Amino acid sequence: MKTNIQRSLQCLVLLWLFCVSINLQASIIPAPPQLAAEGYLLIDADTGEVLVEHNSVQRLPPASLTKMMTSYVASSELASGRLSGTDEVDVSVKAWRTEGSRMFIREGTKVLIDDLMKGIIIQSGNDASVAIAEHIAGSEEAFADVMNQQAVLLGMKDTQYQNATGLPNEGHYTTAADLAKLTTALIKNFPEHYSLYGEKYFSYNDIRQPNRNLLLWRDKSVDGVKTGHTDAAGYCLVSSALRDDMRLIAVVMGASSEEARATESQKLLSYGFRYFETLRLYKAAETLRTVRVWGGQIDRLDLGVAQAVALTVTRGTKAELSATLDIDGVMHAPIKRGDTLGQLKISDGEGVIAELPLVALMDIAEAGFFKGLWDSINLFFTQLFSGDALAV
């Protein structure tokens, strides 16, 4: 009898230890990789969650990463209709003579905007960058002013542009954090132009040049973004990859070589995808609760969140999440769509990790006199018998 009891207890202890072991393994995350680079950052593009960071707000020369903003401004002009891909651009002497990486456009010729965009993005052409800058703003200096204004709009607080190319210039700088903001905006606002960043080759003037982003050949999930290099900036790479509905953005600045910037960027992406996941919990304007409204032309009101809710969590911890709705008390019409009427709180077992406004998903106008009176009477007796009536 004792032997059976002892065996049963041993089995229970082993089962408990096994369960504890599984839970511990699910929550263990190694320290983030330490890269041989001056500054770097890894974020979830959808949530903005920072997964790895080192010197991400240090102002550094961006080299040709500058061209991300050059193409962003041009994409904005195309989206607004002020610019067309079939517009022809006159190539100036300045554009033709611009040093560094080139698209090899010729002075005195005309080049399509569509070709210049590919020359900037795929070939990293300094000549193409100057040509499109002059076409849009009249001069490269004026275009740099537009770039700086756009940086302010995107919240890039530690960025300043002096030119459209990224060639060394005092006072021309940015940060890994600001580049991540720019990349996020580029992907979300101009997806059709962002797709150019994933193209491996572009030919112009019978000269075929490859995209310098080595990750496009090594990782099928990588679809951008941009390389950069000068003696002052070192070797830089902004990369982005999409796997299983999760998009990560990695920024590496000041690496020692072309190979190093690719290898170090791959370390960041591999770490992020292996140990984290993006959970898309609720859609924008999805009905989370329907409540009673008093004194309105409609009696029922749908509540939800104005924006889609996504969270970045450690892989394997989804089951630990729970959501609660803290809804305001008695609701009276009129109610306008977007009015905040409570809170959505998401917890992970240790505490609240996200709190968002719970808003009305529709307008409810105030009822007429007789329905309003009838609702007032009903509300009085409802509160009276439910014990919710206020003391008088």
Catalytic residue numbers read 64, 67, 124
CA angle, 190 then 192 then 196, to 5°: 105
Which residue is associated with the tokens 């609240």? 352
Distance separating alpha carbons of residues 197 and 12, to the nearest angstrom: 56
Distance separating alpha carbons of residues 302 and 363, to the nearest angstrom: 10
Distance separating alpha carbons of residues 31 and 33, to the nearest angstrom: 6
Decide if 24 contacts 225 (C-beta within 8 A). Answer: no
Task: Count CB-CB contacts under 10 A for residue 107.
Answer: 14
First-to-last alpha carbon distance for the chain, in angstroms, is: 68
Q: Name the 3-class secondary structure at 19.
A: helix
Decide if 239 contacts 213 (C-beta within 8 A). Answer: yes
- Beta-bridge partners for 237: 227, 252
Which residue is associated with the tokens 């409570």? 342
Distance separating alpha carbons of residues 373 and 336, to the nearest angstrom: 21
Q: Around 29, how many Cα atoms within 13 Å sit in the side-chain half-sphere?
A: 18
Distance separating alpha carbons of residues 125 and 271, to the nearest angstrom: 32
Selection from 283, 354, 81, 41 nearest residue 182 by Cα: 41
The amino acid at 18 = F
The H or E element spanning position 386 is helix 369-386
